[in-house]
Amino acid sequence: MYPLSLILLIGFLRRDKDVFFYVMPFSILGTGVSTYHYLLQKTDIFGSSAVCNTGIPCTTTWINIFGFITIPFLALVGFLIITFMGLLFFSQEMEGKET
C-alpha cells in the first residue's frame, strides 16, 4: 500500500489522468493479499499451513476491534476504497471523452 501513496501523489501533482492504469494492478494485488491474510487469521480455510513459520506467524492478531477489525482487514478496506475510487474516476473520464 505504501508505494500507492507515492504513485497517487505524483499522479496528482502531474495531473496525470492515466494514473489509474498504474494504481489498479497494485490495488487489486493488495486486495488479494489482504483477503488471504485476513482469512488466514480468522478462519481455518487454509488449515495449519501458515506460510510464515519463523519469528511471528501470520496468524498473530495485533489488534482485534469488535472481533473482526484487524490490520489485514484495515488494509483490505483501504485497497477496496482505492480500487472503487479508481474505477469511479476511470468511468467519469470515459464519459468525459465521449462528449
With contact defined as beta carbons under 8 Å apart, do 46 and 40 qualify? yes
Query: How far apart (Å, rounded) are the C-alpha atoms in residues 21 and 15?
Result: 14
Q: What percent of the chain has pLDDT over 90?
A: 33
Per-residue pLDDT of 63-97, as tens digits, reads: 888 888 899 999 999 999 999 988 888 888 777 77
Q: What is the chain's percent helix, strand, coil content, to nearest 5?
A: 65, 0, 30
